[in-house]
Amino acid sequence: MLLQRTLTALVLAPLVILIILFASTPVFTLVAAAAFLAALWEWSRLSGLKSAAWQIVWLAAATAVFVMLWLARATVMMPIVLILGVAWWLLACVWLRHFAYGAAPTQENRALKLLAGAFVVFPAWVAMISIHAGQPHGHGFTLLALVIVWAADIGAYFSGRTFGKRKLAPQISPGKTWAGAYGALIAGVAVTTLGGWWLFDVRGGQLFGLAVLAIVTVGASIVGDLIESLMKRHAQVKDSGTMVPGHGGLMDRLDSVFAALPIFAAGLMLLGL
C-alpha cells in the first residue's frame, strides 16, 4: 500500500505543482472547483445521500455556489466566507469531542452533514482564490499551503510509526497518535519557516508569525482529517471513494487541505503577506 501511495503521489504531485505555479488564477480555480466538486460528491455519500437524482441536485447547487463566489471575489463576501470557514473548524473541534452526535442515519442528520460539507469545501475554495491571486507571491504561497499539509502528513506517518503509542482519538481514528501529531507540527513548521525565509524573503517578526501560523494550520489540518474520519465511521466505510489509487477518494486526500486553507489564508492577511 505504501508503494502504491508513493507512486500515485509521484504522478499527481508534479501535475498539481505545475498547475499552481504556472496556471492563471481563473484556470487554477476552475481546476480546483472540479476537484472540490468531486470531493463534495463523496461527502454527500458519506452523509447518507443515496439517491442519484438528489446527488445531481446537490452537485448542481454546489456548482451554482462556486459561480456565485467567483463573481463575488472582489467584494466583502470573500473575507466573510473566510471568517465562516475559520469559525466552522473551531466548531468542528466541539463535534470531535461529542463524536456520537449525528451518527444516526436520520434525515435531519443527513441535512446537517450536507451543511457541514458546504462549510468544509466553499471556504477552502475561497481561501485558495484569495491566496493564489495575491501579489507578488500568491502562486508560491498557494503551493506552500499544500506543502505544509504534505509535510505534516509525512511527519505524522513516520513519527507515528516510530514513536506512536498514545492514541490521539481512538474512538474516531485508532491509527492516529500524539507522536504523529507532534511529528506533523515539527515538519509543518520546518518547511514553512524555511520556505518563508528562503523563497519569500520573510524576516523578523513576520517570519516568527509565519511559524506560529504553521502551527495553527497543521493543527487545523489534523482536525480536518479527524472530521472526515468521523464521517467515515458514521457511514461505516473505510475510504470516501476510489478515485485516487492507494489513497482512497479525493476527500481522503483533501480533508486536511480543506481545513488548512482558510486558516492559512486568514493568517497571511493578518501578517500582511
Task: Spell out, as residue ranges, where the chain has pLDDT lower than 50.
Answer: none
Instruction: State the Cα torsion 56-62-65-70 to the nearest 10°.
Output: -110
Say whether 74 sits in a helix, a strand or coil.
coil
What is the DSSP-derived secondary structure letter of residue 49? -
The pLDDT tens digits for 49-61 are 988 999 999 999 9
Answer yes or no: are the C-beta atoms of 264 and 127 closer than 8 Å: yes
Say whether 136 sits in a helix, a strand or coil.
coil
Grid coordinates of 42: 463523496
pLDDT of residue 244: 63
pLDDT of residue 164: 83
pLDDT of residue 65: 96
Give the closest residue to 223 by CA, choosing from 118, 114, 122, 86.
86
Grid coordinates of 211: 511559524
Q: Where are the alpha helices (DSSP H) in the chain?
A: 2-22, 25-47, 52-71, 77-97, 107-132, 138-163, 178-198, 204-235, 250-271
Grid coordinates of 194: 524555511
Give the closest residue to 222 by CA, choosing from 194, 182, 191.
182
Rounded Cα distance between 250 and 243, Å, is 6
Say whether 106 sits in a helix, a strand or coil.
coil
pLDDT of residue 1: 58
Length of the chain: 273
pLDDT of residue 40: 95
